[in-house]
Structure 1
Amino acid sequence: MPTATTARHDDAVIRAAREVFAEHGMAAPMAEVAKRAGVGVASIYRRYPSKAELVEQVRIAAFRLVIDEAEAARAEERDPWQALSRFMHRCLREGSGIGTVLPQLEKRHTFSVEFRDLQQRVAEVIEALVDDAKLAGELRADVDWTDVLLLFKHLNPSLPTTEARRAELRARYLGLVLEGLRADGAALRGPAPDTAEWRALCDNRAD
């Protein structure tokens, strides 16, 4: 069972890797990840044998956060619209890392069973939030759960400023987006991604 020290080490490495790979892509040296995490390079390689595996673990950490936030919002907010709004705001809060654009992995990369299981769970919990809001007549009928997840990427671009300021901007523009998600809005152009397209985009692998 992981100790508190091990958990803190892993959290620090995941945060550092998310920042470094988002800024520099897969060419970024593991030494830079280690430097930002405040750990030794050898300790990272013992835990994560390759860059691709480390990137996957960054994604897994994000999946877990998405699931936790969706389940908490649905359980604790009686109004479906408030649950959806809370979920999106919490996922885009300062330091969450949700929506961070990471480098593409090679097409031959094989995702772990853990990754695939969590990916499927993410789809299920977001779909439940979206369906609740639609049934309540608060969310427009032409919005799908895949739209909500892809919005995270659109709302979290790489900007040359601090994370605190980026978080403020995410919250500001999320407020505008939420108004557009309300029922009775003008029809959207083009179809929502289907599950296969979302999964391909989520995998983020180079052709």
Structure 2
Amino acid sequence: MRSDALQRRETILRTARELFAQHGANVAMDVIAERSNVGIGTLYRNFAARPELVEEVTVTTLQEILDAAHKAQADLSTDQHAWSNFLDQLVNLNLGALSEALGTALPSTLSTRVLTVQRQCAIAVSEVLEAAKGFNLVRADLNGVELITVIGAATRPLGRAFKDQAPQLQERLVAIMLDGLKPENTTALPVEKSL
């Protein structure tokens, strides 16, 4: 694929991911094309139908998680910020909003391609998590599924009333979530005894 065609395809994927996260996976294909600054024909030459685009956005997102996990694991021994950088990357992927949108758009039986990268991603996240535990950067009782689930929950879209009343609430919830992953939070809180 020519470099300009590849760049257009990447722009379409990036734009589709943003729109899916904001509006759900049923956003009109012509809106995706318009926001990507390409014609509808170009969009359909790259992705013949919505399911194909949804699958590619899913695979691309999982690949970004996989790449971030590999980088964090490679960097952890020399850079203690690698763990927090990894968490920031996961948060910035807007996994909660995206998984909500894609979860309803993906077929009930996932393709081998999605399952393969999903499996690789789960292994890589677990490996970087275990490495971070070895450096005492994260609580020892956390597993990879819990990590992704917590980040997904913290980045789920908030209702309009919340956004209007507390515009910084999403960032605050993410900060609270990230604080909860720190190792000092693994000790149980003392229980008050009644007199």
Q: TM-score, with normalisation over the residues of structure 1? A: 0.72
- Counterpart residue number, 2:192: none
For 2:141, the aligned partner's letter is: D
Does the 8 Å CA contact 2:58/2:102 hold for their aligned counterparts? no
- Counterpart residue number, 2:129: 130
Post-superposition CA distance 1:18-47 (Å, at most 9, x none): 233333334322111111011111222222
Matches within 5 A, 1:24-173: 24-78=23-77, 82-93=81-92, 96-101=93-98, 102-105=101-104, 108-158=107-157, 170=171, 173=173
Q: Following the alignment from structure 2 to structure 1, what is the Cα–Cα distance between the partners of residues 119 and 80?
A: 23
Does the 8 Å CA contact 1:48/1:54 hold for their aligned counterparts? yes
Post-superposition CA distance 1:118-166 (Å, at most 9, x none): 11111111101111223344432321111111233223233678xxx98
Change (3 A) 1:187 1:56: farther
Change (3 A) 1:98 1:25: closer
Q: Following the alignment from structure 1 to structure 2, what is the Cα–Cα distance between the partners of residues 68 and 103?
A: 20
Q: Following the alignment from structure 2 to structure 1, what is the Cα–Cα distance between the partners of residues 123 and 81?
A: 19
SS across alignment from 2:183: coil
Q: CA deviation at 1:91?
A: 3.0
Aligned residues: 180
Change (3 A) 1:62 1:88: same
Does the 8 Å CA contact 2:12/2:36 hold for their aligned counterparts? yes
Does the 8 Å CA contact 1:139/1:181 hold for their aligned counterparts? yes
- Counterpart residue number, 1:21: 20
- Counterpart residue number, 1:178: 178
Gaps of 5+ in 1: 189-207
Greater shift in the superposed pair: 109-118 or 35-44: 109-118
Does the 8 Å CA contact 2:22/2:97 hold for their aligned counterparts? no
Q: Following the alignment from structure 1 to structure 2, what is the Cα–Cα distance between the partners of residues 48 and 130?
A: 35
SS across alignment from 2:110: coil
Q: TM-score, with normalisation over the residues of structure 2? A: 0.76
Computing the radius of gyration from Cα coordinates, the structure with the larger value is 2
Does the 8 Å CA contact 1:142/1:187 hold for their aligned counterparts? no
Q: Following the alignment from structure 2 to structure 1, what is the Cα–Cα distance between the partners of residues 132 and 24?
A: 37
Q: Following the alignment from structure 1 to structure 2, what is the Cα–Cα distance between the partners of residues 21 and 174?
A: 20
Q: CA deviation at 1:173?
A: 4.5
- Counterpart residue number, 2:5: 6
Q: Following the alignment from structure 1 to structure 2, what is the Cα–Cα distance between the partners of residues 134 and 26?
A: 36
CA RMSD, 1 decimal: 3.0
Q: Between Structure 1 and Structure 2, which shows a larger proportion of helix residues?
A: 2
